[in-house]
Amino acid sequence: MNISHWIERWESFQPEKTAIRFEGTDISYSALAARVRKAAALLRHGLGVGRGDRTAFLGFNSPDMLALMFASARLGAILVPLNWRLAPPEHRFILDNSGAKVLFCEPEFLEGADAFLPPDCRLVAMGGPDGEGGEFEAFASSAPEDAVDPLAGADDPLLIVYTSGTTGRPKGAVLDQSAITFNAVNSGAMHDMTSRDIVFTNLPMFHVGGLNIQTTPALHAGATVILHRRFDPDATARVITEEKPSLMILVPALMSALMAHPQWSALDLSSLRAINTGSTIVPMSLLDSYLDRGVPVIQVYGTTETAPIAIHQRVPDAWTTKGSTGRAALYCDAKIVDAEGRTLGAGEKGEIVVRGPSIMTGYWNDPEATAQVLKDGWFHTGDIGHVDERGLFYVDDRLKDVIISGSENIYPAELESVLDGCAEIAEAAVVGRADERWGEVPVAVVVPASGAGPERQRILELFDGRLARFKHPRDVVFVESLPRNAMGKVLKYELRDMVSRVSAERQTGS
């Protein structure tokens, strides 16, 4: 049974119920089911997509992205959501690596798409905001509604979601249909989600956070999703005031952005049964700003590889376990282990490892990377945490060097490879620096080449057109040498301390 069954069952129970509200239009479960069937027919009959084939989507949040996902499920095909913030070379790598047969592309990203489109990947233009004018709409409007592979089901891969690694090369986490289903069940238990809920989604659905913490679980539960193309503080305030959602997600950077809105103090938050947050360590002061307004803020922990719900709080825990990320999800086991894999006790810090049916099956075409993180059925997250005497999990730090800026992962190796190509730089490293707005921002620590005197702006411009703007360093610190251990490894904790100290000195003028 493939997961488009969710939509068809809710179509039979509540055909006129709004499944998705998008840009002023309500799409019923009946209309969504028909759209899924049309999209599946387009994939099979119009584009020759079958079981195991990959299709990619490049665009903002839209109902058609969801329709393509459920249509792929009908055929046993695989959807590859592309991060629209990436640079063209990054898109090209993902399309090549995944072997995507088709790229569905929204109008905002069509210009220049030919430059990164592989020769064996077909480009299909999506329509404008009104759904008209695109090749996709022309295909779907005339397609039959009979496309389904009877063998497609729980064990078929459904999503390949790319997440960079510490090597700097993106890796595609493969999530099968079963993972999406069990993740939806985990979400239902976390939120007490029912068909009466109204879920507000404005996080990008190219991330599992925007797609799978509340959005796909809401459709599993027969609820209504208010879907916005992207986050906008004014639109968010309006939706909360006028449309009264019961659930939404705000990562810490967006929590701060909403608090900075002129209407914040007068904003009626009473409809919100919970706000879900996570993706990084959440400052207590930020939690208190919402809890003091009477809004439960519940934390969730997970990664792309865990679909992502692995550990979470529930609404009653918002005040009583504040600062914790909660307990293992309904269909998930979690524990803290040391470097030898031994389970640690209360208060002992070690690596967070998890297992369960929502965990990825592996990285696409990368058995070596898969073997490094999937061991004896446990996924090794690379994050440091501990459990207290009550069994509550806390996230303390990261084993990996990943920088989390405004909920986006930035991997230093990607930036360092750009710096390594500059003749004016002898060596360089990138570390994160605390930032009030974004949580962290990347900073380049540079050792100039002998006789060279590169300027700060010149170094920052090296990243233009090569990496997504959000990955670019926000500052450059020049040093005579990089601190290293006896094995020659750069001591990044020393660099982080140094960058923090330099920043403080600049602010005080000392």
pLDDT, tens digit (0-9, with 9 covering 90-100), for 13-69:
999 999 999 999 999 999 999 999 999 999 999 999 999 999 999 999 999 999 999
**Helical residues (DSSP H) of 243-351, grouped into ranges:** 252-259, 284-291, 317-320
pLDDT, tens digit (0-9, with 9 covering 90-100), for 297-308:
999 999 999 999
Alpha carbon distance 218, 435 (integer Å)? 33
> Do the Cβ atoms of 502 and 495 come closer than 8 Å?
no
On average, the pLDDT of the chain sits at 92
Domain CATH number, residue 126: 3.40.50.12780
> Do the Cβ atoms of 296 and 274 come closer than 8 Å?
yes
Domain CATH number, residue 417: 3.30.300.30
Domain end (from 98, 129, 153):
153
Q: Is residue 50 part of a domain?
A: yes
Q: Is residue 386 part of a domain?
A: no
Q: Give 225's strand partners.
A: 20, 199
Q: Give 174's strand partners.
A: 160, 362
Average pLDDT of 123-138? 78
Domain end (from 153, 172, 192):
153
Q: Total domain count for the chain? A: 2
pLDDT of residue 133: 64
> Would the pLDDT of 140 be above 70?
yes
Q: Is residue 114 part of a domain?
A: yes
When pLDDT is cut at 50, 70 and 90, the band that residue 413 belongs to is confident
- Closest among 166, 203, 164 to 86, alpha carbons compared: 164
Q: Is residue 330 part of a domain?
A: no
pLDDT of residue 134: 81
pLDDT of residue 129: 58
Q: Is residue 139 part of a domain?
A: yes
Most confident of 118-132, 254-268, 475-489: 254-268
Q: Is residue 120 part of a domain?
A: yes
Q: Is residue 227 part of a domain?
A: no
Residue ranges making up the domain that contains 130? 1-153
> Would the pLDDT of 451 be above 90?
no
Domain end (from 89, 119, 153):
153
Alpha carbon distance 227, 129 (integer Å)? 13
Q: Say how many C-beta atoms besides its own lie within 10 A of residue 493's C-beta.
A: 11
Task: Report which of residues 242 and 486 the model is more confident about.
Answer: 242
Q: Is residue 225 part of a domain?
A: no
